[in-house]
């Protein structure tokens, strides 16, 4: 498949998610995290996904990025970093100490109290003046994407997409992205580890790990993986990418996370599925009933969100 293009630059078929390097009960030591990030670069991943919300105010993705680019300043130009703001907090760029500029600025979730038109008309001039490289939205509805696209170009929409999170292909989000030429950054493409064949039940996660309360179970992808001679994780990622080959879908770039050099290498390898294999996995998805939502109820409310309309906003005064 040809390389996806983001901000007019070719990017690898698969990106890299930084969340697990800082936002777990027991984050890896900084040298281990940096070795993982280096492995991502060395294996081609030049689209990274991090955020101030991934960790604590004193240790999150930005701190780690700073440590990484202090050590490998030459890599700053190679990598596109997408950095979500939290809905409530702005991103204190001083943490980066000038080691890296903002490539893609993303609103993490949709603020239901702020019209998306206002968000876009604030960010678009910043993009035009070069203060930010691009604009990202996250977990938004198709209607919000369509409204936002009338104001300015959205570069990326970040949403969960995997063999067991297929909602975007039926709720209009993927179609809206395709229509407006937006890349989908598919987060949790390995089902947060459940689709790798190595985790069987939420009870296996340590206390304090948010996945302990994720209510789903793993469909079997092991059979096809064994026949193809690849890992189930590679199959799961290849399936996400392959959705982008289908007529109405946008370019799909999965952003798996891993703390292990070996697994990062595995995830970034070029494994492609034939159309027949995609159909086989599609059938597997159809025949499994996925039980439980993607998030516990209080967080699910913020997914596929709609912002208030300008009309409603004006009425409120």
Ligand X SMILES: NC(=O)c1ccc[n+]([C@@H]2O[C@H](COP(=O)([O-])OP(=O)(O)OC[C@H]3O[C@@H](n4cnc5c(N)ncnc54)[C@H](OP(=O)(O)O)[C@@H]3O)[C@@H](O)[C@H]2O)c1
**Least distance from ligand X to the Cβ atom of residue 95, Å:** 17
Tell me whether residue 120 or residue 303 sits nearer to ligand X (CB atom). 303
CA atoms within 13 A on the CB side of 295: 12
Give the CA diameter of the chain: 62
Cβ(203)–Cβ(192) below 8 Å? no
- The β-bridge partners of 72 are none
43 binds ligand X (CB under 6 A): no
Residue nearer to ligand X on the CB measure, 147 or 192: 192
Among 75, 103, 155, 158, binds ligand X (CB under 6 A): 158
Contact 4, 251 (CB under 8 A): yes
Applying the rule CB under 6 A, the residues between 256 and 275 that interact with ligand X are 256-260, 263, 266-267
Cα 235 from Cα 228, distance rounded (Å): 9
Strands (E), the chain: 5-6, 9-10, 16-17, 47-49, 80-85, 104-107, 134-138, 156-160, 183-187, 252-254
> Does 16 qualify as catalytic in the annotation?
no
Choose between 18 and 120: whose C-beta lies nearer to ligand X.
18
Name the catalytic one among 54, 68, 105, 187.
54
Binding mask 197-236 for ligand X (x = CB under 6 A): -x--------------------------------x-x---
115 is a site residue for ligand X (CB under 6 A): no
Among 22, 49, 218, 307, binds ligand X (CB under 6 A): 49
Is residue 149 within 8 Å of 250, Cβ to Cβ?
A: no
Residues forming the active site = 54
Residues that bind ligand X (CB under 6 A): 17-20, 49, 108, 138, 158, 187-193, 196, 198, 231, 233, 255-260, 263, 266-267
């Amino acid at each position: 498949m040809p390389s996806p293009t983001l901000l007019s630059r070719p990017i690898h078929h698969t990106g890299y998610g930084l969340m697990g390097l800082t936002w777990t009960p027991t984050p890896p030591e900084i040298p281990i995290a940096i070795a993982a990030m280096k492995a991502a670069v060395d294996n081609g991943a030049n689209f990274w996904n991090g955020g101030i919300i991934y960790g604590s105010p004193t240790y999150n993705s930005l701190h780690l990025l700073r440590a990484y680019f202090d050590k490998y300043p030459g890599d700053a130009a190679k990598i596109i970093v997408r950095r979500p703001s939290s809905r409530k907090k702005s991103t204190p760029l001083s943490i980066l100490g000038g080691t890296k500029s903002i490539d893609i600025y993303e609103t993490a979730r949709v603020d239901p109290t702020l019209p998306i038109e206002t968000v876009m008309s604030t960010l678009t001039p910043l993009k035009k003046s070069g203060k930010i490289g691009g604009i990202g939205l996250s977990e938004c509805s198709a209607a919000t994407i369509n409204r936002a696209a009338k104001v300015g170009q959205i570069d990326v929409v970040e949403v969960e997409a995997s063999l067991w999170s297929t909602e975007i292909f039926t709720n209009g989000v993927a179609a809206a992205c395709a229509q407006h030429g937006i890349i989908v950054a598919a987060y949790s493409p390995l089902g947060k580890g459940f689709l790798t064949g190595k985790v069987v039940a939420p009870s296996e996660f340590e206390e304090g790990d948010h996945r302990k309360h994720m209510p789903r179970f793993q469909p079997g992808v092991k059979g096809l993986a064994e026949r193809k001679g690849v890992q189930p994780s590679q199959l799961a990622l290849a399936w996400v990418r392959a959705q982008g080959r289908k007529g109405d879908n946008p370019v799909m770039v999965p952003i798996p996370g891993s703390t292990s050099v070996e697994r990062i290498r595995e995830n970034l390898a070029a494994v492609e599925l034939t159309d027949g294999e995609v159909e086989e996995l599609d059938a597997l998805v159809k025949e499994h009933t996925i039980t439980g939502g993607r998030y516990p109820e209080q967080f699910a409310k913020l997914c596929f969100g709609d912002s208030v309309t300008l009309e409603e906003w004006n009425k409120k005064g």
